[in-house]
Copies of this chain bind each other. A is one copy, B any other.
Amino acid sequence: MSTKALRKEEEENLLRRADDLCRQNNLRLTPIRERVYRELVQSGGPVGAYDLVDRLSSEKKRLAPVTIYRALDFLRDAGLVHRLATQNSYVISHGQPDVNAMKIMFVDSKTGETIEVHSTEVAEAVKKAAEQAGFKSVSPFMEVEGEIAH
């Protein structure tokens, strides 16, 4: 089987999972939201909001930024997409929902390429540090810049 076909399959898997997740939580994966999600899946990496505007706009119909931002907000709330603040961009979250793990997005400082890793060890260490800082709850997402070993 070709890698292209494999990727296509993986794509469909993600879409199906997203669909299931929304169904189970009574969330509505409307056409626009699904198109945004699909575009992120297909891109295979972080994409900026205005990039999404361009990619999802046709000649006839240009989407407004706010439309994309709303879709992104929805997808983020659903836990399907993660915002990379350092890059002003958005990526698919490859998360099997392990509540105890920290979802770390490693971002290559040069290329912007990302790799997601889940770690309960980091989660625990961060939690401990948070207590020191007087923080009670802590986001399960974090972003770390670095350099890919090529």
Give A contacts to B, CB under 8 Å. 85-86, 104, 106, 108-109, 115-117, 119, 121-122, 124-126, 128-130, 132-139, 142-149
Q: Tell me if A122 and B115 are in contact (CB < 8 A).
A: no
Q: In the complex, which residues of chain B have a beta carbon less than 8 angstroms from the beta carbon of A122?
A: 122, 125-126, 129
Q: In the complex, which residues of chain B have a beta carbon less than 8 angstroms from the beta carbon of A128?
A: 119, 121
Q: Tell me if A146 and B136 are in contact (CB < 8 A).
A: yes
A88's nearest neighbour on chain B, judged by CB, is B85
Alpha-carbon separation in the docked complex, A5 to B27 (Å):
54
Q: Tell me if B129 and A104 are in contact (CB < 8 A).
A: yes
Q: Take A104-B126, A121-B125, A128-B121 as given contacts and tell me if A137 and B146 are in contact as well, using a CB distance cutoff of 8 Å.
A: yes
Q: Tell me if A130 and B142 are in contact (CB < 8 A).
A: no
Alpha-carbon separation in the docked complex, A133 to B113 (Å):
11
Q: Tell me if B142 and A146 are in contact (CB < 8 A).
A: no
Q: In the complex, which residues of chain B have a beta carbon less than 8 angstroms from the beta carbon of A121?
A: 125, 128-129
